[in-house]
Chain A
Amino acid sequence: MENILEVNDLKVSFNTFAGEVQAVRGVNFHVKKGETLAIVGESGSGKSVTTQSIMRLIPMPPGEIKGGEILFEGTDLVKKSDKQMEKVRGKDIAMIFQDPMTSLNPTMKIGRQIMESMIKHRKIAKTDAKKRAIELLDLVGIPKPEQRVDQYPHEFSGGMRQRAMIAVALASDPKLLIADEPTTALDVTIQAQILELLKDIQKKTNTSIIFITHDLGVVANVADRVAVMYGGKIVETGSVDEVFYNPQHPYTWGLLASMPSLDAEEGELQAIPGSPPDLTNPPKGDAFAARNSYAMKVDFEMEPPMFKVSDTHYAATWLLHEDAPKVEPPAVVRKRIEHFKEKAGER
Chain B
Amino acid sequence: MANNQEVLVDIKNLKQHFGRGSHKVKAVDGLNFQIYRGETFGLVGESGCGKSTTGRTIIRLYDATDGEVLFDGENVHGKKSKADLKKFNRKMQMIFQDPYASLNPRMTVSDIIAEGIDIHGLSKDKKERKERVVELLETVGLNREHANRYPHEFSGGQRQRIGIARALAVDPDFIIADEPISALDVSIQAQVVNLLKELQEEKNLTYLFIAHDLSMVKYISDRIGVMYFGKLVEVASSDDLYRNAFHPYTKSLMSAIPHPDPDYERNRKRVTYDLQEHLREMDGEEPEWREVSPGHWVSCTKKEFEAYQQQLQTQ
A residues neighboring B (CB under 8 Å): 42-43, 158, 187-192, 195-196, 214-221, 223, 240-241, 244-245, 254-256, 258-263, 266, 268-273, 275, 340, 343-344, 347
Q: Can you name the residue of chain B whose Cβ is closest to the Cβ of A347?
A: B267
> Which of chain B's residues have a CB closer than 8 A to the CB of A240?
262
Interface residue B153 (Cβ < 8 Å from any Cβ of A): no
Contact B215 A259 (CB under 8 A): yes
How far apart sit A256 and B188, CA to CA, in the bound complex (Å)? 13
Which residues of B sit under 8 angstroms from A217, Cβ to Cβ? Answer: 215, 257-260, 265
Determine if B189 and A258 form an interchain contact, defined as CB atoms under 8 angstroms apart: yes
> CB distance B256 to A215 under 8 Å?
no
Cβ of B257 and Cβ of A255 under 8 Å apart? no
**Could you say which residues of chain A place their CB within 8 Å of the CB of B186?**
42, 214-216, 255, 258-259
Query: B139: CB under 8 A from chain A?
Result: no
Q: Which of B207-240 contact A (CB under 8 A)?
A: 212, 214-216, 218-219
Chain A residues whose CB sits within 8 angstroms of the CB of B46 once the complex forms: 187-190
Q: Which 4 A-B pairs have the closest CB atoms?
A: A217-B258, A271-B190, A260-B219, A258-B190
Report how far A190 CA is from B257 CA in the complex, Å: 11
B-side contacts of A43, CB under 8 Å = 185
Q: Which residues of B162-196 are within 8 A (CB) of A?
A: 185-191, 193-194
- Using Cβ atoms and an 8 Å threshold, which residues of chain B touch A271? 187-188, 190-191, 193-194
- Docked pose: A195 CA to B258 CA in angstroms: 10
Given known pairs A187-B46, A187-B212, A271-B194, the reply for A340 and B261 (CB within 8 Å) is yes
Is B311 in contact with chain A by the CB < 8 A criterion? no
Q: Enumerate 8 A-B pairs (CB-CB under 8 Å) in ascending A order.
A: A43-B185, A215-B258, A219-B260, A241-B263, A255-B187, A258-B187, A262-B242, A340-B264
Q: What separation, in Å, do the CA atoms of A42 and B158 have in the docked complex?
A: 15
Interface size on B, residues (CB 8 A): 40
Kindly state the separation between the CA atoms of A42 and B267 in the bound complex, as whole angstroms: 28
Measured CB to CB, the closest approach of chain B to A226, in angstroms, equals: 9
Q: Which residues of B contact A261 (CB under 8 A)?
A: 215, 259-260
Cβ of B104 within 8 Å of any chain A Cβ, yes or no, is: no
Nearest CB to that of A186 among chain B residues? B47
Contact residues in B for A340 (Cβ distance below 8 Å): 261, 263-264
Q: Is the CB of B187 within 8 A of A256?
A: no
- Given A43-B185, A269-B193, A271-B194, also A262-B218 (CB < 8 A): yes
Contacts of A347 in B (CB 8 A): 263, 267
B270 contacts A192, C-beta separation under 8 Å: yes
- Would you call B268 an interface residue if the criterion is a C-beta within 8 Å of the partner chain's C-beta atoms? yes
For residue B157, CB closer than 8 A to chain A, the reply is yes
Contact status A241-B262, CB under 8 Å: yes
Complex alpha-carbon distance, A268 and B158, angstroms = 20
Whether B108 is near chain A, meaning CB under 8 Å from some CB there, is no
B197 within 8 Å of A (CB atoms): yes
**Contact residues in A for B189 (Cβ distance below 8 Å):** 258
Query: Does the CB pair A269–B219 fall under 8 Å?
Result: yes
Bound complex: CA A343 to CA B157 (Å): 35
Partner of B258, one of A190, A220, A273: A220
The answer to whether A260 touches B215 (Cβ under 8 A) is yes
Q: Is the CB of B185 within 8 A of A42?
A: yes
A189-B46, A217-B258 as given contacts; A268 in contact with B264, CB under 8 Å: no
B265 adjacent to A220 (CB under 8 Å): yes
Query: Is B253 in the interface zone, CB < 8 Å from A?
Result: yes
User: Of all chain A residues, which has the CB nearest B218?
Assistant: A262
- In the assembly, what is the distance between CA of A261 and CA of B257, in Å? 11
Tell me the minimal C-beta distance from A260 to chain B in angstroms: 4
